[in-house]
């Protein structure tokens, strides 16, 4: 009888030992749904001759589309990484700063962009969590986003939809010829000089991307083709340097 009891105890210990790790292991946080605390929103700005629609897009015949996320206190600090930039350093700084200033200058809304200087931090294209530093910089995008001129990635807290981090990467692919135009006339009717490459202007592209920082979505309807937040950029285009009626209505709605 004693031997039987000992055997039962040993078997019980073995069974408990074998199942305890499975019972003690915590469940996977938010399985299959990304980070449990943050939403990660990706916007892809494609060249006009690329057929695929961009991320965060909207095909409805309207002049703006708002994602629902927003900055706290209507204030955004940003840094610029000039490593690997395809325009000259001075031109890149001028264009990027001017793009943010375009949105800030709108008298019908209240948003403040504050330039904090240059940085060695790269845009967080592959980051798994936000680093709380808003960076515009340069990266090769064509391997992951074929046809993309730029990609903006925004992190926001899942519960209250407050933005905590926003980064933009401009594509270093030699297919795109980057410049910063000295615009002396109406950008809606002016084009960059033509080259054999796809000619893109820093300020033109970044004004569109800055709209994504404010959480305006891409638009793809024919009604929105003249809006800064239209989802494609054409060769030699400058018209996105200025804001149009839908852009102004959108930013006023988010940051009145």
Neighbours of 115 (CB within 10 A): 14
| Contact between residue 64 and residue 214 where contact means Cβ atoms under 8 Å apart | no
pLDDT at 191: 77
pLDDT digits (tens, 9 = 90+) for 62-87: 899 999 999 999 999 999 999 999 88
Neighbours of 135 (CB within 10 A): 22
The C-alpha atoms of residue 154 and residue 39 are separated, in whole angstroms, by 8
SS3 of 121-184:
CCCCCCCCCCCCCCEEEEECCCCCCCCEEEEEEEEEECCCCEEEEEEEEEECCCCEEEECCCCC
Q: Assign 3-state DSSP to the chain and report helix, strand, coil percentages, each to 5.
A: 25, 25, 45
Phi, psi of 213 (to 5 degrees): -60, -35
3-state SS, residue 152: strand
Integer Cα distance of 58 and 218 in angstroms: 6
Query: pLDDT for 119-175, tens place per residue?
Result: 999 999 999 999 999 999 999 999 999 999 999 999 999 989 999 999 999 999 999
Q: What are the structural domains of the chain? A: 38-254 (3.40.390.10)
Q: What is the pLDDT of residues 202-251, one digit of tens each?
A: 999 999 999 999 999 999 999 999 999 999 999 999 999 999 999 999 99
Least confident range from 7-21, 79-93, 188-202: namely: 7-21
Element (H, E) at 53: none
The pTM assigned to this predicted structure is 0.82
Query: Reduced to 3 states, what is the DSSP secondary structure of residue 13?
Result: helix
188, 165 Cβ separation under 8 angstroms = no
CA separation for the pair 245, 30 (Å, rounded): 40
CB 231 within 8 A of CB 48: no
Cα distance between the two ends of the chain:
83
Please report where in the chains the tokens 């709108």 appear, as a residue.
106
Burial of 155 (0-12, 13-18, 19+ CB in 10 A): buried
Report yes or no: 122 and 81 within 8 Å, Cβ to Cβ. Answer: yes
Tokens of 154: 């925004």
The mean predicted confidence, pLDDT, of the chain is 84
Share of the chain above pLDDT 90, in %: 69
28 forms bridges with which residues in the sheet? none
Residues 134 and 67: their CA atoms lie apart, in Å, by 19
Q: How many CB atoms lie within 10 A of CB 169?
A: 24
């Amino acid at each position: 009888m004693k031997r039987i009891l000992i055997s039962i105890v040993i078997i019980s210990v073995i069974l408990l030992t074998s199942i305890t790790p499975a019972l003690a292991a915590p469940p996977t946080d938010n399985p299959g749904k990304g980070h449990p605390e943050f939403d990660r929103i990706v916007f892809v700005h494609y060249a006009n001759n690329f057929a695929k629609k961009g991320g965060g897009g909207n095909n409805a015949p309207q002049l703006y589309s708002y994602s629902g996320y927003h900055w706290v206190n209507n204030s955004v600090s940003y840094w610029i990484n000039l490593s690997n930039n395809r325009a000259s350093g001075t031109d890149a700084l001028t264009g990027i700063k001017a793009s943010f200033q375009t949105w800030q200058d709108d008298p019908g809304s209240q948003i403040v962009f504050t330039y904090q200087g240059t940085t060695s931090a790269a845009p967080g294209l592959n980051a798994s969590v936000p680093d709380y530093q808003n960076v515009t910089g340069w990266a090769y995008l064509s391997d992951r986003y074929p046809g993309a001129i730029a990609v903006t990635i925004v992190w926001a807290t899942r519960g209250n939809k407050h933005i905590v981090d926003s980064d933009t990467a401009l594509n270093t692919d030699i297919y795109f010829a980057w410049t910063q135009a000295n615009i002396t006339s109406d950008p809606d009717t002016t084009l960059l000089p033509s080259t054999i490459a796809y000619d893109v202007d820093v300020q033109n592209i970044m004004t569109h991307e800055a709209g994504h920082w404010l959480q305006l979505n891409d638009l793809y309807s024919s009604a929105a083709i003249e809006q800064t937040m239209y989802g494609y950029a054409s060769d030699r285009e400058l018209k996105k340097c200025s804001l149009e009626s839908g852009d102004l209505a959108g930013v006023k709605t988010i940051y009145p």
